[in-house]
């Protein structure tokens, strides 16, 4: 509830921002074989495309989801960041970022999974990591 003396541009902007946050994802449906799972965003390490399908990777599984990466990028919270043409990751779940001859590799907490970061997106990832709460 917002209390204001008048309904001016500032109040309208606040209302718009609240509605925008409400429309963002809180959880997603993920499909594994013939079963549908409700995935909490905090459980997801990264999203990746493979053969025109988008998969949400958790610590143990990869779930098919029915969204495109650009839709996810527009609607996911700020802790998710595009890191390549085919991937978006959860910055909060990063354990390490390693530079190597073959590329920049992200490893995740409590998981064997890793993903490559393209050079084009590396700078924005480093900025996001520096802003991350310790």
Residue 86: the pLDDT is 95
Which fold, 9-131? Answer: OB fold (Dihydrolipoamide Acetyltransferase, E2P) (2.40.50)
Query: Is pLDDT above 70 for 3?
Result: yes
Ranking 10-14, 28-32, 36-40 by mean pLDDT, the lowest is: 10-14
Quote the CA–CA distance of 82 and 75 in Å, as a whole number: 12
Q: Supply 73's token pair.
A: 């990028």
| Closest by CA position to 38, among listed 74, 63, 55 | 63
Quote the CA–CA distance of 124 and 130 in Å, as a whole number: 10
pLDDT digits (tens, 9 = 90+) for 39-91: 999 899 999 999 999 999 999 999 999 999 999 998 888 889 999 999 999 99
For residues 116-134, one letter each, b for 16 or more C-beta atoms within 10 angstroms of the residue's C-beta and e for the rest, the string is: ebeeebbeebeebeeeeee
Q: Would the pTM of this model clear 0.85, i.e. be above it?
A: no
Domain extent listing, the chain: 9-131
Sequence-separated (6 or more) residues with CB below 8 Å from residue 21: none
């Amino acid at each position: 509830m917002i209390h204001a003396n008048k309904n001016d541009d500032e109040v309208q902007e606040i209302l718009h921002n609240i509605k925008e946050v409400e429309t963002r994802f809180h959880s997603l449906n993920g499909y594994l074989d013939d079963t549908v799972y409700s995935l909490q965003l905090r459980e997801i390490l990264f999203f990746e495309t493979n053969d025109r399908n988008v998969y949400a990777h958790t610590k143990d599984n990869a779930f098919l989801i029915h969204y495109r990466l650009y839709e996810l990028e527009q609607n996911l919270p700020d802790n998710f960041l595009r890191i390549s043409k085919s991937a978006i990751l959860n910055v909060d779940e990063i354990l390490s970022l390693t530079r190597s001859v073959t590329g920049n590799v992200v490893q995740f907490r409590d998981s064997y999974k890793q993903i490559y970061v393209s050079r084009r997106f590396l700078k924005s990832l480093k900025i996001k990591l520096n802003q991350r709460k310790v």
